[in-house]
Amino acid sequence: MRKDISVRELEDAALEIRRNLVKLCNHEAIHIGGDLSITDVMTVLWQYQMNYNPKDVDDETRDRFVLSKGHASAVTSFNQAAIGCFETNEVIREYATDEGRFSMHSCNLVNPFVEVSTGSLGLGFPVACGMAAGLRLKGNRTSRVYVVMGDGEQSEGSVWEAAMNAAHCRLGNLVAIVDNNELEADGTIDEITGLGDIAAKYRVFGWNVREFDGNNIAEIKRQFDALPPADSDQPTIFICHTVKGKGVSFMENQLRWHAGKLSDALYEQAMRELAPNEEA
């Protein structure tokens, strides 16, 4: 957690994360579209918001992170690298190798910076609820549990069982984040599951709902700053309206780039579009 970091510095950090994602996508097939859509939120979460010390991963006062949207493992790993968990080049070098720590889903059997292995959608959110309840049972009133979900994941029944339970147990230390990019692997959210107004559903379940632009760093930072205290009694959910493939023009809002590998030519195009802004 670095509370002195500015919006401009976070924007630069998010750009660097996107560049690393594109580099990795030139080496291996990854879930690039959803990684790019949640990059801004993940950058603010890991590099500004969370209380997490890479040198003491078992610190009981730490915040916890659960990636229920398992496909966003690459953007998680690059943000962990940014705060010193490991080196960025290690993520690229080891990704999808037999003995590597990094792959399309996060695994705590090989990576000590992963709280819980995820992949099957609808799994991580209930686990995060259990973690938040466990912290309360231990008397910990300062740590939070953050969990990132996809919008397509909201069609899983286990999500709504967990949402009901979290509100009932008054888990104000739980912060859920939905990457609402409106696309899943096979089509738009409306075409596949017709979820309607996700924010309204969570309000009915008793959650504190914040709905905002999930690709606006300043707004994301403001929303984290406005969180109720961790010892409050109402869980919070961020419905983050994002663009799948954000930052790379030929990927934005394109189902084709739910997952894939970049050719050298497309890699060069993407890196030109993500060139650092040298203006002060």
Q: pLDDT of 180-221, one tens digit each? A: 999 988 889 889 888 899 999 999 999 999 999 999 999 999
pLDDT of amino acid 94: 93
Tell me which amino acid residue 22 is. V
Over residues 227-256, the mean pLDDT reads 97
Residues 48 and 4: their CA atoms lie apart, in Å, by 8
Higher pLDDT among residues 218 and 2, named by residue: 218
Residues 111 and 108: their CA atoms lie apart, in Å, by 5
Tens of pLDDT, residue by residue over 30-80, are: 999 999 999 999 999 999 999 999 999 999 999 999 999 999 999 999 999
Average pLDDT, the chain: 95
Of the pLDDT bands very low, low, confident and very high (cuts 50, 70, 90), residue 106 is confident
Burial classification of residue 241, based on how many CB atoms lie within 10 Å of its CB (0-12 exposed, 13-18 middle, 19 or more buried): middle
For residues 229 and 170, the answer to whether their CB atoms sit within 8 Å is no
| Residue 1 pLDDT exceeds 80 | no
| Residue 280 pLDDT exceeds 70 | no
Higher pLDDT among residues 280 and 163, named by residue: 163
pLDDT of amino acid 277: 76
| Residue 279 pLDDT exceeds 60 | no
* Percent of residues, the chain, with pLDDT higher than 70: 99
For residues 274 and 22, the answer to whether their CB atoms sit within 8 Å is yes
Higher pLDDT among residues 185 and 249, named by residue: 249
Residues 211 and 225: their CA atoms lie apart, in Å, by 15
pLDDT of amino acid 28: 94
Q: Is the dihedral of CA 238, 130, 182, 253 positive or negative?
A: positive
| Domain 7-273, CATH among 3.40.640.10, 3.40.50.970, 3.10.20.30, 3.40.50.300 | 3.40.50.970
Higher pLDDT among residues 174 and 185, named by residue: 174
Tens of pLDDT, residue by residue over 108-154, are: 889 999 999 988 899 999 999 999 999 999 999 999 999 999 999 99
